[in-house]
Amino acid sequence: MQVVISLSSLLGLDSRNGLLDGYGTITPGVARRIIAAGDVTLTRLLCDPITGAVMVTDPTKYRPDNATRHAVICRDRHCRLPVCEARIRNLDHKHPYADGGRTRPDTLQGVCERSHLARSHPGWAVTGDADTVLTWTTPTGHQYYSLPPPATGYGTGPPGELDNPLHLPGWLSHHQHLRAQLDARRNRRDNDAA
């Protein structure tokens, strides 16, 4: 079971919601009860307070350390191929490591087995910053954009114009459209309450 929540919410200093992997948003009280329930391992992720990007070290190794791996999986939560919502099985360097790619959260993306294999075929390309927007280019030249889900409890998330459900790309699944609409409604409600 994986729960992502800000330290300030965990300590009861504010009331930002957490995220339970595979379920969705949970209240800080529920997160505290889960953590207090038993044998729990806590992993700290240091995030930039403005952008919410996870800050991790040692980009020179091919294989990411556990903290980097955990950070990318927490950020992406499912395969970054825009039409896929499969579970993450691999971390993929958007720029191949052999060609000078670095091993950092902003250069790694979580992908499923099938997407990882497709990505290794000629003609596929991924550009952009994995913390914000990745552009997948297919062998036919079509481009698809991949946004990570907003991190719960950290930073301000991606720019608002990318999060506007009125301008969501048509290739998103029905589930992704509903999630974006719910997130936008929740953000409006939170802004109205503040």
pLDDT, tens digit, for every residue of 46-81? 666 666 666 654 456 677 877 788 888 888 888 998
What are the residues facing 135 on neighbouring strands? 127, 145
pLDDT, tens digit, for every residue of 16-52? 888 787 788 888 888 888 888 877 766 666 666 666 6
- In this structure, which amino acid lies at residue 8? S
Confidence of residue 112 (pLDDT cuts 50, 70, 90): very high
**Rounded distance between C-alpha atoms, residue 56 and residue 48, angstroms:** 10
Average pLDDT, the chain: 76
**Rounded distance between C-alpha atoms, residue 180 and residue 186, angstroms:** 10
User: Is 51:157 a contact under the CB 8 Å cutoff?
Assistant: no
pLDDT, tens digit, for every residue of 161-180? 444 444 555 566 666 666 77
**Rounded distance between C-alpha atoms, residue 168 and residue 145, angstroms:** 10
Q: Which of 146, 147, 156 is nearest to 187 (CA)?
A: 156
Please enumerate, as own/partner, the contacts of 53-60 that have beta carbons within 8 Å and a separation of 24 or more.
53/105, 53/106, 53/131, 53/155, 54/105, 54/131, 56/104, 56/105, 58/103, 59/102, 59/103, 59/104, 59/107, 60/102, 60/103
Token pair recorded at residue 41:
């391992």
Q: Which of 146, 147, 79, 148 is nearest to 118 (CA)?
A: 79
Cβ–Cβ contacts within 10 Å for residue 155, how many? 17
